[in-house]
Amino acid sequence: MALFKPADGILRTNVSWDDLEECVSEAFGKDAKFGPNKDAKDIGFANGFMSKICLVTPDWHVDGIPGKFVVKISSQLSFLECQRMFGDIETEFSTEEFSRALESEVKKIHNNEITLYKLLKKYNVSNVARPKVYYMREFSEQNPLKGFIIMEYVADNLSLHIFDNLTPDDILQALRTIASLEAASLKFSDEDKALFMNNIFGEMFAKALTKEVSK
């Protein structure tokens, strides 16, 4: 089993409905039980490559808790599915060797995201735009395959890609959020900063973009 191998869980990941129900009970209360018409839709295809973004409709009948929520499951399946859109073209990125090397980096990125959310909460940072997070599960030696984040579903959001044309005004929100995040990081202690794993993308692509491949 691996993050790049299809499994029998939600959207072919390693995370099962039982795993998820255990966590939502912790997040929303013991009465939060999935109904027979529960559903998960992939709402992130081609918008990211290191996770499955699942819109979950839990079919529960409890007042005061979200009727829908998002589960971001760390997975390499989206990366592999996007590769297949280009047909049978073989590249360094399509080898199982690269997928195995990438797996450890994907786990680090997921754990880094969780670390950031924890620190933003620790320092009461409210001016960095982000969805409300209900539950987070890190990768560890005891949990090597089921890293995920349960978060708020923000309806009517617009996904933008690197090929979209934007005006300066269009990117102001993103620039302000980046500035707020940089300012928030000044509150982090050396111990806080040590929790992050550095240069993940450099390590990741160094395994594929070798001198031999670049020739």
pTM, two decimal places: 0.87
In a domain, 142, yes or no: yes
In a domain, 111, yes or no: yes
Convert the pLDDT of each residue in 24-72 to its tens digit. 999 999 999 999 999 999 998 777 788 999 999 999 999 999 999 999 9
In a domain, 5, yes or no: no
Domain count, the chain: 1
Domain around 97: 10-213
In a domain, 4, yes or no: no
In a domain, 3, yes or no: no
Residue 158: pLDDT band (50, 70, 90) is: confident
Convert the pLDDT of each residue in 181-209 to its tens digit. 999 999 999 999 999 987 777 766 665 56
Contact assessment for residue 133 and residue 150, using Cβ atoms and an 8 Å cutoff: yes
